């Protein structure tokens, strides 16, 4: 009872505060990506929530121009002649814009796919490669004609890309695993595109449990690609966080010449996580590999040559590692970077994109609206400074909740944040987890938190009465910290603010012909009996025959179908890779609607309808 009273008081206080400061919400800048001109004199900074690009003079640290865009800016890149800045913008109706840096005119060059990002310039071929995150494809744009010459299908949520030095191959980072999570192996992968034939000719699988793959860079000698990602220990119960038994944070090294994974190195220390690695970048001289950590608000500065040399000696008579006896041990070695990496605490919150100019690293601090400035030296007492992008704004409850959701500082030893298991603004990581709120030995697929506060109860078995209870239990039992009520209420406010984005299965924002047919099947197959109303759920639990082991004969909460296209794999244990598989393979006795008598075309239409919601 006392807990509830304190909770209500905190809610009232934050509503009052949020009302006072609601007008400032659109004044946050949220720097996300950074590009630099060839001369090394200007930083171009994409500002996510203000739909702007800021231009910072490197010598003075001052903003001398700001460009207003028609949509949310994603990635950006400067042309070789320094006259144009290419920017990806928008979500379902994405565009590629160019900014003339002499006349300051903004042109929308061409329509792009769903949530375009990571523009990569191929000056030799006069092309731009753009990753369309939710279309799962890469667009190849001819800059001479401003036309898409090909769309290349990749895996799941292409989020970053890198061109090899010879221009012959494009490495594309797929953010999430693209397979059933109940299999023996679940991991994000790298798609390698042959830029001559314009097709994927190889994929490189990251280690088991790799998810939330975020950034990629090329070593200056062109020999290695570095990929940041989380390495989840999802096959173990969520205990003993102090040993790195839940989420660890990693950099994978790819041998560019033969398109193979060389090895994966943990970025954490034995007793301190380095949560949510974001962007890797190498200094021009090849001495340093720098990585921003958005969860622990740090910059890792790694002696690249020392790291590669140590890695090459593992398993030999000259092995310098005290833990790794063979290369297979390295992805589990929390001591590997000892003495060859500096961890530098940054002045702001939420570091993401970064750029290196000469001997200085510039880091976009998303939640602080600042650019951190770090000098690259071997001095372990490095000083950092902060360059503001505008006047400081007071945090609203939503903004604070967003920051806390991504903040590993509230986790014991900062191993992970809420976003580690719910990347992409509270969505899914594509993995199964054995949470201990309903016993041990019954892992379940990560659920999206979109509309979780409107579709109680929470969790697959409904073991939490509502999302508010789940938030506080998550802080306690997954982050292993005592929940502070004011912080928990702010996280509630953030999660309540989440909005679905339009499905990539829509055609001109409307249901396709197939989806329209599927809507009728949805009715006739009686799917609407449980998935009804505004949220497409009756908020009841049913035994639908998918429980196994300790969950056999258990009743599962009916989930909302809104934005289901984004939350694969499906069913409580992630056994179904696609919605089609739910009905074709996993509904033999009609426990998920009456679908056993449907034709393949009817199942495809039904799936298309559900994926369009």
DSSP one-letter code for 458: B
pLDDT of residue 4: 46
pLDDT of residue 423: 97
DSSP class per residue in 115-149: SEEEEEEETTTTEEEEEETTTTEEEEEETTTTEEE
Which CATH superfamily hosts domain 2-22+399-497?
Answer: Cytochrome c-like domain (1.10.760.10)
Q: How far apart are the first and last CA of the chain?
A: 39
pLDDT of residue 201: 95
Kind of pairing between the strands at 288-293 and 277-282: antiparallel
CATH for the stretch 513-611: 1.10.760.10
The H-or-E segment that residue 74 falls in is strand 73-78
pLDDT of residue 26: 61
Could you identify the residue written with the tokens 């191929």?
122
Backbone angles phi, psi at 26, to 5 degrees: -80, 5
In 3D space, the residue among 594, 427, 470, 613 whose CA is nearest the CA of residue 534 turns out to be: 613
Treating both helix axes as pointing N-terminal to C-terminal, what angle do 513-524 and 600-611 enclose, rounded to 10 degrees? 100
CATH for the stretch 164-345: 2.130.10.10
Q: How far is CA 562 from CA 532, 594, 612, in A?
A: 11, 21, 8
pLDDT of residue 8: 44
Which residues in the chain are classed under CATH 1.10.760.10? 2-22+399-497, 513-611
DSSP class per residue in 140-177: EEETTTTEEEEEEE-SS-EEEEEE-TTSSEEEEEESS-
Show the tokens assigned to 330: 């390295």
Is the pTM higher than 0.85? The answer reads: yes
pLDDT in tens, 509-539: 999 999 999 999 999 999 999 999 999 999 9
pLDDT of residue 27: 79
- The parts of the chain modelled with pLDDT lower than 70 are 1-26
Could you identify the residue written with the tokens 């690695």?
277
pLDDT of residue 166: 97
Rounded Cα gap, residues 480 and 200, in angstroms = 42
Question: Which residues sit opposite 228 in a β-bridge?
Answer: 215, 251
């Amino acid at each position: 009872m006392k807990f509830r009273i304190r909770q209500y008081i905190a809610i009232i206080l934050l509503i009052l505060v949020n009302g006072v400061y609601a007008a400032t919400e659109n004044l946050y800048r949220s720097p996300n990506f950074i590009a630099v001109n060839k001369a090394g004199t200007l930083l171009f900074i994409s500002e996510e929530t203000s739909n702007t690009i800021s231009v910072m003079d490197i010598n003075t640290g001052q903003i001398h121009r700001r460009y207003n865009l028609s949509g949310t800016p994603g990635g950006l890149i400067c042309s070789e002649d320094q006259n144009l800045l290419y920017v990806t913008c928008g979500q379902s109706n994405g565009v590629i814009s160019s900014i003339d840096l002499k006349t300051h005119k903004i042109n929308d060059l061409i329509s792009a796919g769903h949530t375009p990002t990571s523009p990569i310039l191929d000056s030799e071929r006069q092309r731009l490669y753009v990753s369309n995150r939710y279309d799962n494809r890469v667009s190849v744009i001819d800059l001479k004609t401003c036309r898409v010459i090909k769309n290349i299908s990749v895996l799941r949520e292409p989020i970053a890309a890198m061109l090899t030095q010879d221009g012959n191959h494009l490495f594309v980072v797929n953010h999430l695993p693209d397979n059933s999570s109940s299999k023996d192996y679940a991991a994000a992968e790298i798609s390698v595109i042959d830029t001559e034939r314009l097709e994927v000719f190889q994929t490189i699988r990251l280690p088991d449990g790799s998810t939330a793959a975020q950034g990629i860079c090329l070593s200056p000698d062109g020999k290695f690609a570095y990929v940041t990602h989380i390495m989840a220990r999802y096959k173990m119960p969520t205990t003993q966080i102090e040993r790195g038994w839940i989420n660890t944070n990693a950099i994978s090294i790819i041998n560019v010449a033969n398109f193979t994974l060389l090895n994966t190195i943990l970025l954490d220390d034995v007793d301190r996580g380095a949560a949510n690695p974001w962007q890797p970048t190498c200094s021009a001289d090849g001495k340093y590999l720098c990585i921003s950590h958005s969860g622990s608000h740090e910059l890792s500065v790694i002696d690249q040559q020392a790291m590669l040399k140590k890695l090459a000696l593992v398993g030999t008579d000259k092995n310098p590692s005290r833990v790794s006896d063979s290369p297979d041990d390295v992805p589990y070695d929390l001591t590997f970077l000892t003495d060859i990496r500096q961890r530098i605490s940054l002045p702001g919150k939420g570091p993401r994109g970064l750029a290196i100019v000469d001997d200085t690293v510039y880091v976009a601090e998303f939640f602080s609206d600042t650019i951190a400035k770090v000098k690259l030296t071997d001095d372990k007492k490095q000083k950092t400074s902060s360059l503001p992008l505008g006047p400081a704004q007071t945090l609203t409850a939503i903004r604070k909740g967003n920051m806390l959701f991504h903040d590993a500082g509230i986790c014991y030893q900062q191993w992970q944040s809420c976003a580690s298991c719910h990347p992409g603004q509270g969505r899914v990581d594509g993995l199964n987890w054995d949470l201990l709120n309903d016993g041990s030995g019954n892992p379940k697929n990560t659920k999206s938190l979109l509309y979780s506060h409107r579709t109680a109860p929470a969790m697959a078995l409904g073991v939490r009465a509502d999302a508010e209870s789940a938030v506080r239990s998550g802080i306690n039992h997954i982050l292993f910290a005592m929940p502070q009520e004011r912080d928990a209420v702010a996280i509630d406010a953030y999660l309540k603010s989440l909005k679905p984005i339009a499905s990539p299965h829509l055609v001109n924002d409307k249901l396709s012909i197939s989806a329209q047919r599927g809507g009728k099947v949805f009715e006739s197959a009686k799917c609407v009996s449980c998935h009804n109303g505004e949220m497409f759920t009756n908020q009841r639990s049913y035994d639908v025959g998918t429980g196994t082991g300790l969950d056999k004969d258990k009743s599962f909460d009916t989930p909302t179908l809104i934005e289901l296209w984004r939350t694969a794999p499906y069913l409580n244990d992630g056994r179904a890779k696609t919605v089609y598989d739910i009905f074709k393979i996993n509904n033999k006795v009609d426990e998920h609607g009456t679908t056993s008598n449907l034709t393949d075309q009817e199942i495809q239409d039904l799936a298309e309808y559900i994926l369009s919601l």
